[in-house]
A = this chain, B = another copy of it.
Amino acid sequence: MMRALDLAEAIEAGDLTPATVLELSLEAIEVREADIRAFAHLDPDRARVMARHIPGTDGLFGLPIGFKDIIDTADLPTGYGSPIYAGHRPAADAPIVVMCEATQGLTLGKTATTEMAYLNPAPTFNPHNPKHTPGGSSAGSAAGVAAGFMPLAFGTQTGGSVIRPASFCGVAAMKPSYRLLPVQGVKPFAPLLDTLGLFGARVVDVAFGLAAISGRDLRVDGGDFGIPRFGVTRLPFAGEAERESEEALAHAIAALGTAGFPVADIDLPAAFADAHHAHKAINDFEGATSLLWEYTHRRDQLSPVLLQAIEAGRAISIAEFDRSRSLANRARKASHALFDDVDVVLTFSAPGLAPGRESTGDARYNKLVTLLGLPAVNVPGWRDSVTNLPVGVQVFGAFGDDQRVLAAAAMLEAALAKTA
């Protein structure tokens, strides 16, 4: 994989240039893209022209960035993973694209997404085994980073569309606190949930990218972040995990213990279970609203799975939607007390290994954290001994405590590396 932090340091040191890094990226794509299909749109020549004009002196140092194809770009087609929008050219770039370019990021291309970032699979293959899904909805961003096509790529999460594909593809990723990154110009699905996230090789790479783009103190390479107090939960209201995820979690707990980090079993506030179950009504109700034009005027171009979801959303009563918002608010308030006793919480990223390509996997360990708007990181570093497929674990924390979550996740990642 391309490590963003190392590449940026090499460019800063004069050992690489943005143009040479881009060629590394394009070579990897040349070799494997036909088998991975991470991109919805890629224009190598445009990227080469841009790379020549990036000084590589600061910020993202000219690193190539992938953008999930529900993020608007004025100069590249933006198809939202749907035939309705084939060849669509938005009038403007989403702010996140301009923010990346303003800090010397190179817009490499648009990465494959499930249809409207919902469940209908993208054409992308899991780089570790083409029989398996890369996860969704940010399929191309996760698979592309895993395949070494680019050091950083943006996805979005409404249920589990950042953390789950990161787990399945064996890469690091963060879904930051709600609205830490701007979602203007990103095709909405459920605005109360939709959150931009970033994929990278390691946690320190993701933190480096997020810091450069947002201007926030988020880097966790170097610096003293203390000894985080980890709490562990299996999110019991979300059902049981499969063997592989249980093993990955047990392995992470053991690695933390070996590294000398305190790890405590915790009970979650009762309001969390209610909020977990409330996610679906908010997701489906708002999704049906967001896609009302498509449902009304382009219904024959919607997949059966998306059409069914919209119809399910339309069947949700306003009373249930309002009640679900209230439950979410109650759980957000309850989350404050949780973080009196622990700094971060360790749990599953996904129920198990990446399933086959007919599905994008299950977001049941991600929905609550998304609904509460809490920062969450997928920590890679463990592989199933039978299939050799990766399985990640999830670290989440208090609203706005993004740097601490990144720091704890990086410490866990380092602890896992020592056990390998």
Contacts and interface: CB of A to CB of B under 8 A. Distances in A.
Given A88-B91, A179-B191, A184 B98 contact: no
Interface in A333-376: none
A123 interface: no
Contact of A191 (B88, B99, B184): B184
Contacts of A290: 95, 182, 184
A228 interface: no
Interface string A73-104: 01000000000010010111111011101100
Contact of A98 (B93, B99, B214, B292): B292
A95 B293 contact: yes
Interface string A260-296: 0000000000000000000000000010011011101
Nearest to A95: B292
Contact of A92 (B179, B286, B294): B294
Q: How many copies does the complex hold?
A: 2
Interface string A284-319: 001001101110110000000000000000000010
Contacts of A94: 293
Contacts of A92: 293-294, 297
Given A85-B91, A188-B184, A293 B98 contact: yes
A1 interface: no
A192 B215 contact: no
A243 interface: no
A322 B88 CA distance: 35
Interface residues of A, number: 36
B182 A293 contact: no
A307 to B, nearest CB: 16
12 contacts: A74-B297, A85-B91, A92-B293, A93-B297, A94-B293, A95-B290, A99-B289, A101-B296, A102-B296, A182-B289, A214-B318, A322-B400
Contacts of A286: 182
Given A85-B91, A95-B290, A290-B95, A318 B216 contact: yes
A60 to B, nearest CB: 16
A85 B85 CA distance: 20
A183 interface: yes
Contacts of A183: 191
A297 B318 CA distance: 41
**5 closest A-B pairs by CB:** A92-B293, A95-B292, A98-B292, A93-B293, A184-B188
Interface string A186-207: 0010011000000000000000
Contacts of A179: 191-192
Contact of A99 (B99, B292, B297): B292
Given A90-B91, A101-B296, A179-B191, 18 more contacts: A85-B91, A88-B91, A92-B294, A92-B297, A93-B292, A93-B293, A93-B297, A94-B293, A95-B289, A95-B292, A98-B292, A179-B192, A182-B286, A182-B290, A183-B191, A184-B289, A214-B318, A215-B318
